[in-house]
Amino acid sequence: MSKQKVLITGASTGFGNITAKLLAENGHTVYATMRDVNGKNKPHKEALLDWAKAEQANIKVVELDVTSDQSVENAKEQILTDTNGSMDVIINNAGIYGGGIQEAFTVNDHKALFEVNVFGTVRINNAFLPTLRKQKSGLIIQISSILGRVIIPFGGVYDATKWTVEALSENLAYELKPLGIDVAIVQPGPFLTDLVNKLYQPENLSIVNEYGKSAEYLKQFSQNFINTVSDPNIPNKPEQVADAILKLVETQNGTRPLRTVVDKLMGGVTEIINDTSSNVQAGLLQNFGLSELNSNNSEIINN
């Protein structure tokens, strides 16, 4: 496969940062986007550029806040000018986590989480789809979560954002298949990244004091989660997510799995739901005479 031009969002830390490096190490040209590159993310920008220089890897850092139409537009212009109007791979990775008692999340809190995790991906996809459609090729990778498939109590509004990402991504996959564009959904399990250090705090946090036994379960669950992801022997390593993304990027167009689970902790529950859903969808599409839109629903299972 030829070397790809890749845009990734949220490349300051976590999966985005590791993936940007892995893709560039493998010869791809990476537009590693992050917000606030001249402010709080300046050290991350400089570290990434220093690394790229030392490794002679092709990484360009571009300012991009996925919540801002103007920021997406500016980044698009800058990147497409640099690539003479082409782009091969879009990776929607930027995300924030907000867990806890659901009632603590006001409407504004719901909007804030959806703004990044859902509308952020819509902004990016709508900005770059005209380019991919013109090329009649391309790949959109959507970083979802196993929490896009199951509900673990106290997932707050985060679970709802990732379920929405799943729905929008699968729909997009069907519509884009005849146009030669792949959509691949990546579903990581729990990993230690900066996500837990940047928890979104809902406006009505004090409501938790009125939740009695549920508040106790929340406390216990939060502690267990932190203990699990902080355990140095945890089998889930963020590099596995980057490896799965690299594999998707380097797989031939039209043959990529729709969903890729990256997890060694959850005992395969997501795979069961994915398999069931895949069978149901195949039947549904057949009933509507739309079987040709069916994406390859088989999954890579990483455990």
Ligand X SMILES: NC(=O)c1ccc[n+]([C@@H]2O[C@H](COP(=O)([O-])OP(=O)(O)OC[C@H]3O[C@@H](n4cnc5c(N)ncnc54)[C@H](OP(=O)(O)O)[C@@H]3O)[C@@H](O)[C@H]2O)c1
What residues line the site for ligand X (CB under 6 A)? 9-10, 12-16, 34-36, 41, 65-67, 93-96, 116, 143, 145, 188, 190-191, 193-195, 198
Structure tokens at 138: 């391309």
Which among 134, 138, 135 has a CA at the least distance from the CA of 172?
A: 138
CB of 266 to ligand X, least distance (A): 11
C-beta closer to ligand X: residue 65 or 177: 65
C-beta closer to ligand X: residue 8 or 104: 8
Give me the DSSP letters along 228-281. HHH-TT-S--HHHHHHHHHHHHTSPTT---SEEEE-SSSTTHHHHHHHHHHHHH
C-beta closer to ligand X: residue 177 or 258: 258
CB of 252 to ligand X, least distance (A): 25
Distance between CA 238 and CA 186 in Å, rounded? 13
CB of 192 to ligand X, least distance (A): 7
Distance between CA 226 and CA 208 in Å, rounded? 19
Pairing of strands 59-63, 5-8: unpaired
CB of 44 to ligand X, least distance (A): 7
C-beta closer to ligand X: residue 9 or 295: 9
Cβ neighbours of residue 142 closer than 8 Å, sequence gap 6 or more: 92, 121, 165, 169, 183, 184, 185, 186
CB of 112 to ligand X, least distance (A): 10
C-beta closer to ligand X: residue 20 or 176: 20
User: Could you give the residue numbers annotated as active site?
Assistant: 12, 144, 158, 162
Per-residue CA distances from 27 to 13, 57, 64, 73, 189 (Å): 21, 7, 23, 27, 28
Query: Are the C-beta atoms of 18 and 24 separated by less than 8 Å?
Result: no
Which among 184, 188, 201, 169 has a CA at the least distance from the CA of 249?
A: 184
